[in-house]
Chains A and B, each alone.
Chain A
């Protein structure tokens, strides 16, 4: 049982690690390239410098919010895992208690 709990905990940790590995990874060069391509495709005359600045600010805002969102996500899955683990440990405890009582009963009937 302890092994199962340990394995599931490692699985949850792996999932958290996996979650933490998906940050917004947009560099300034990538933003500049995307803005330049988008304005060229749209054919609408826009101030690329202003647009690039706006996109960079949006990306910074997204990055800042992402760590908060990941905390919410990790907390939710940790709570779900915790409820299951506590329930399984409770089942294990009950099973051990039943085994102990059965062994006691067998011992009593042997002595009689």
Chain B
């Protein structure tokens, strides 16, 4: 755990150094283009997070192990955090590049829908109890994940959006591409680290609830 934390911290510092000290300043957007490195990396980490949620939701529905449910919830929570970062850093880019804070173009709209669906996931969880909560939220997690490929392919499905093509990031100049890759790895590592932290916390909380229940039963008898 400590090793993951140290590696993550080092990678974040390296990525920040690369963003501001190594990557070439892009010709059109100039310094503002540097938002790209964490914005796009956060957006891709969202796919990873919701992917983990989907996998463990399916696993929970098959095997009914409470730990799978806890892991799915932890991943969904982090997915929302990274999605919030992508949704908040995007408009700052948009204001400079497109002269507007928000535009109802395909990728932005589908990402907002994705965020709202996972917010709904937590509203559903807070409204239910016990096994029903885990089962219903697992089903919603799987259904919500269907929006991930829609977000990813939005620029291809609906032509004429403001976002660039999917392959643009791979055709970047070498220093920019290397920087973006390090930033992506750093954020994925941060996701893994926070996922472990959140999972352990949720597990401890679940254990506490069991002990408390047992304690109350013993006290009443």
Distance A22 CA – B20 CA, assembled complex (angstroms): 9
Are B201 and A94 in contact, CB atoms less than 8 angstroms apart?
Answer: yes
Give the one of A15, A73, A79, A94 with max B CB within 10 A: A73
Q: Select the residue from B32, B39, B93 with max chain A CB neighbours within 10 A.
A: B32
User: A105 and B211: CB pair below 8 A?
Assistant: yes
Residue A55 at the chain B interface, CB threshold 8 Å = no
Could you tell me if A80 and B16 are in contact, using CB atoms closer than 8 angstroms?
A: no
Say yes or no: A95 contacts B16, CB within 8 Å. no
Contacts of A91 on B, CB cut-off 8 Å?
A: 197-198, 201
Q: Bits for B49-92, please: 1 = Cβ < 8 Å to A, else 0.
A: 00000000000000000000000000000000100110011001
The dominant DSSP class at the A interface is helix
B132 within 8 A of A: no
In this complex, the interface size class of chain B, counting residues with CB under 8 Å from chain A, is 20 to 34
Q: Is A64 an interface residue (CB 8 A)?
A: no
How many chain A residues touch the partner (CB < 8 A)?
30
Whether A69 lies near B96 (C-beta < 8 A) is yes
Q: Do the beta carbons of A83 and B88 come within 8 Å of each other? A: yes
Q: Nearest-CB distance from B102 to chain A (Å)?
A: 15
Chain A residues within CB distance 8 Å of chain B: 11, 15, 18-19, 22, 65-66, 68-70, 72-73, 75-77, 79-80, 83-84, 87, 91, 94-95, 98, 101-102, 105, 108-109, 112
Known: A18-B20, A69-B30, A76-B39. 14 other contacts (CB 8 A): A11-B13, A11-B16, A22-B31, A69-B96, A70-B31, A72-B96, A73-B32, A77-B35, A80-B85, A83-B81, A83-B88, A102-B208, A105-B211, A105-B215
Q: Which 6 A-B pairs give the minimum distances between C-beta atoms?
A: A76-B35, A69-B31, A76-B92, A76-B89, A79-B88, A69-B32
